[in-house]
Amino acid sequence: MPKTTADAVIVGAGIIGTAIALALSKRGWVVRVVDPLAGAGQGATSSSLAMVRTQYSTLEGTALAWEGYHCWKDWPTFLGIESNEPIAPFHQAGILTFKTPNNGFLEYPLKFSKALGIPFTEWRAEKLREVFPSWDFSSYGPPVVSDDPAFGDSSAEELIGVFFPCGGYCPDPQLAARNLQHAAQQRGGAFHFNTAVTGIHASDNRINGVTLSNGEQIMSPVVVNAAGPHSQAIIGLAGLKDRQNIQTRVLRHQTVHIDCPDSKSADGTKVMLYDTDTGSYVRDDTGTFVLVGSLGAKGESEESADPDQFSRNLSPNAVEPLYRLAQRIPSMGIPNTLSGLADLWDVSDDWIPVYDRTDLDGFYLAIGTSGNQFKTAPAAGELMGALIEACENGANHDLSPVQYALPYTGHQINLGFFSRNRSPNPASSLSVLG
C-alpha cells in the first residue's frame, strides 16, 4: 500500500477547504487536499449564489464578513499568484434590506456595522421609490406560504430600507475555488481528486494519517474536516460522533432563475435584495435574469437530505419565494416552468460555523458553513490556519481560546466564538442570515 506524508490533510476541496489549504501553504505547511469529485469547488460550492454581504446578527459574524469583503474586492492580491489561469471576477453591487420586526429592525447588524466602520444609508419611502419606481414598499410580513390565509395581507405602513454599498457577488464560485487550489499548489500543496477518505487513523489520542479509497495512505499529524454535507461522515470515521455540543445537519436548498427586468434600479445599477419582509433574496445574473431564493416563511419547513442521494430537480415549493417576491415587484411574472439550482447545505444548530479543534489531537473542524459563509471563506481559511498553527504549537484552545486579528480590518476575534462545545448562540438569527 503506497504511503506519502504531509503536514496536514484537508478533507474537502470546496471553497472552505481550498481556502484553508492556501492559508496553511502560505505558512510553509506541506498540504494535501482530498475530494471525491473531479475538481475543486464541484460540490455545493458550484451551486452557491456566492453573495458577499456584511449584515450579520453577531459582532464576530459581521467582522468576519467585512474581512471577507475586502478579500474578494482585492481577489488577485489575496491569491498572490502569477498565473495564466482566469481569475474569478467580483461584481460590486450594493445590498438593500429592510427594517422589519422579524429582523429586530436591524438593531444589531446596524450596531455592529457602526462599530466596524461599515458604511450604510437609511432609505425611506421617497428614496426607495426613486431608486425602484415600480416596486411596492408596503409591508407584507411576516412572510407566510402562499396557501396561508394571511398571504398578501399588507400594512399601510411603508418599509424603511437600509442600503449597504459594500457588497457584491462572485458569478463563478467554482472558479474561485480553483483559484485557491492553484494558489495553494504554487506553494507546494497537492490535490487528490476522484478520491475519498475511507479511514482516519490515530494512536494515543493523536491523528497520524488517513487511508484513501484508492488504497493510498497519507501519514499526517493533522487532518481538517471541511467536507461540507459529508462532514458528519468524516467525524464518524474519526470516532467522534456526538462528541461536540454543536451538531450539523444537511438541508436541501433551491434557487430559481427568472427573468425580472424590474429588479434593477432606475439607473440600471445592480443591487442585491435581502427582503426579510417577504422572506426572499435576489441576486443579479446575466442580462435581465436574477436568482431568487428563500429566507424562510411561516409554513415553509426545512428539507433534510441524504448527501449521497438527493434530487437536483426543483420541487414544486421552489416557486414559493417567487410568489412572495412578486408582492414587492408586481411586474414580475411567475413562469409556468421553473429553472434553477438545487443543492445541499451543511448547517449548524445555530447557523454559525464550527471552526475548532476536537477531542482528538490533530483533528480539526471547519463545518456548518453552508448557506451564509461563502463570503467569509478567504478570511475563514486564514482564521483556521492561525488556529491550527497555534494548537499544534501547544495552545490549549479549549481552556484559553486563540485570539486572531483580522489582517485587513485589524478587528480581533476570540476564536472560542466558533467552538464545537458552545451553546447555541442566542444572538443568532437561526437562519441563513446568520
The whole-number pLDDT of residue 430 equals 85
The superfamily (CATH) of domain 94-166+249-347 is D-Amino Acid Oxidase, subunit A, domain 2 (3.30.9.10)
* Closest to 17 in 3D by CA, of 259, 171, 37: 37
Q: Residue 25 contacts by C-beta under 8 Å, 6 or more apart in sequence?
A: 31, 183, 184, 187, 188, 189
Q: What is the pLDDT of residue 224?
A: 98
CB 224 within 8 A of CB 366: yes
Q: What is the pLDDT of residue 85?
A: 86
State the pTM of this model: 0.97
User: Can you give the pLDDT at residue 271?
Assistant: 85
What is the CB neighbour count within 10 angstroms for residue 241?
Answer: 12
Q: How far, in Å, CA of 99 to CA of 246, rounded?
A: 30
Which tens digits make up the pLDDT trace of 166-181? Answer: 999 999 999 999 999 9
Q: Report the pLDDT value the prediction gives residue 12, as an integer from 0 to 100.
A: 98
Instruction: Indicate the SS3 state at residue 350.
Output: coil
DSSP 312: -
- Would you list the domain boundaries of the chain? 3-86+171-247+350-418, 94-166+249-347
Q: Which of 259, 206, 256, 250 is nearest to 229 (CA)?
A: 250
Residue 157 is predicted with a pLDDT of 86
Q: Which residue has the cell 450604510?
A: 120
Collect the ranges in the chain with pLDDT lower than 70: 1
Predicted local confidence at residue 358, as pLDDT: 98
Contact in structure between 31 and 218 (CB atoms under 8 Å) = no
Location of C-alpha cell 417576491: 325
Q: Are 53 and 65 in contact (CB under 8 A)?
A: yes
Q: If DSSP codes are grouped into helix, strand and coil, which group holds residue 280?
A: strand
Task: Tell me the pairing of strands 161-164 and 94-98.
Answer: antiparallel
Q: Of the candidates 204, 300, 180, which has an alpha carbon nearest to the alpha carbon of residue 252?
A: 300
Answer for the pair 253, 342: CB distance below 8 angstroms, yes or no. yes
DSSP string for residues in 364-433: EEEESBTTT-GGGHHHHHHHHHHHHHHHHTT--TTTSPPEEE-TTT--EEEGGGG-TTSPPPTTS-SSTT
CB within 8 A of 259, min separation 6: which ones?
287, 288, 289, 333, 335
- Angle, helix 15-26 to helix 173-185, in steps of 10 degrees: 20
pLDDT for the residue numbered 1:
62
> How many Cα atoms within 13 Å fall on the side-chain side of residue 292?
32
Pick the CATH number of 3-86+171-247+350-418 from 3.30.930.10, 3.30.450.40, 3.50.50.60, 3.40.190.10: 3.50.50.60
> Which has the closest alpha carbon to 131: 262, 238, 5?
262
